Amino acid sequence: MLREHVSRRATHPPQDSVSRGVQSVSRAISLIASLVEADAGLTLSELARSAGLSMSTTHRLLRSLCDGEILCRDLVTERFIPGPLLMRLARSSIFNGGFAEASHILQGLTDRTRETASYGVRDGDSVLVLLAVQSPEPLRFERQLGSRLALHSSALGRALLAHGPESAEDALAALAPLTATTTQTQTETTSVLNAIHAVRYRGWAWVEEEHDVGVHAVAAPIRVDKHTAHAAVALEAPSSRITRERIELFGRELSQAAGLLRRLPISMADMKPMHPANMPPGMLG
């Protein structure tokens, strides 16, 4: 029995060794997350400061990440940038995550309505637009990829808040004070809550020039289970083309599109904000 006991203990590393290993992984993730937010890469000192790590720890981790081709260093600028493995992973996520299928669904929305269709996910306290198909009309609203929209005043944001992981009341309290992006933006919490509650009964959100001047937007949440939505789909059109009948049509079209999009991997992922300032202490070491 003693020999068997010793053998079993020998197969399991000490707890402090496991903890150090997990901490190293967390710190490496924080470095990668810092780099993702930088358009032109970061220097060693910038990465250390961004991740809240010492220079020696940062240098050691970066060496391992570069050896594994997750990151690499530009020999001219001496800045660290995404490496070949990370680039291949990003490309794989595009092909295997359902982006092509989602783009096809958005294109169908635009073909039928002749308005701009967009797909966004919640990323912390904003909505990140991942996909967009522009309207073919000469007078149109163009939504750019990578745009960040306010949760409380955009149709995508309200659709997400209506079926978020927390209550709409708690979410708005965390966003307070609510800011205005146009003269039509509702900044009273009660008014915004009423609009969010309407989404739950109606199935879609309608925003009238609250986020963008001269633009009406309708959005439907993409619910992968009975309660939570991490993504939403929207149609956005110039106010001059809006009628009540068209809004109802948009709502029906978006609800159908959301039913198709919910089956795709990109709609199932909970986008956690990876900004170093928002990371728990364990991530920063």
CATH number at residue 37: 1.10.10.10
Q: What is the pLDDT of residues 67-124, one digit of tens each?
A: 988 888 888 888 888 888 887 776 665 555 578 889 999 999 999 999 999 999 998 8
Q: What is the pLDDT of residues 143-159, one digit of tens each?
A: 988 889 999 999 999 99
In the predicted model, is pLDDT for residue 137 greater than 50? Answer: yes
- Do 39 and 120 lie in a common domain? no
Per-residue confidence (pLDDT) for residue 6, from 0 to 100:
38
- The residues, ordered by sequence, that sit 6+ positions from 97 with a Cβ below 8 Å of its Cβ are 264, 265, 266, 269
Q: Do the domain assignments include residue 3?
A: no
Q: Residue 2 burial (CB < 10 Å; 0-12/13-18/19+)?
A: exposed
**Worst-scoring range by mean pLDDT, 11-20, 69-78, 181-190, 212-221?**
11-20
CATH of the domain at 221: 3.30.450.40
- The residues, ordered by sequence, that sit 6+ positions from 156 with a Cβ below 8 Å of its Cβ are 118, 120, 127, 129, 149, 205, 217, 219, 232, 234
In the predicted model, is pLDDT for residue 129 greater than 90? Answer: yes
Please give the residue range of the domain that contains residue 129: 97-268
Q: What is the mean pLDDT of the chain?
A: 83
Total domains, the chain = 2
In the predicted model, is pLDDT for residue 127 greater than 50? Answer: yes
- Do 162 and 139 lie in a common domain? yes
Per-residue confidence (pLDDT) for residue 42, from 0 to 100:
87
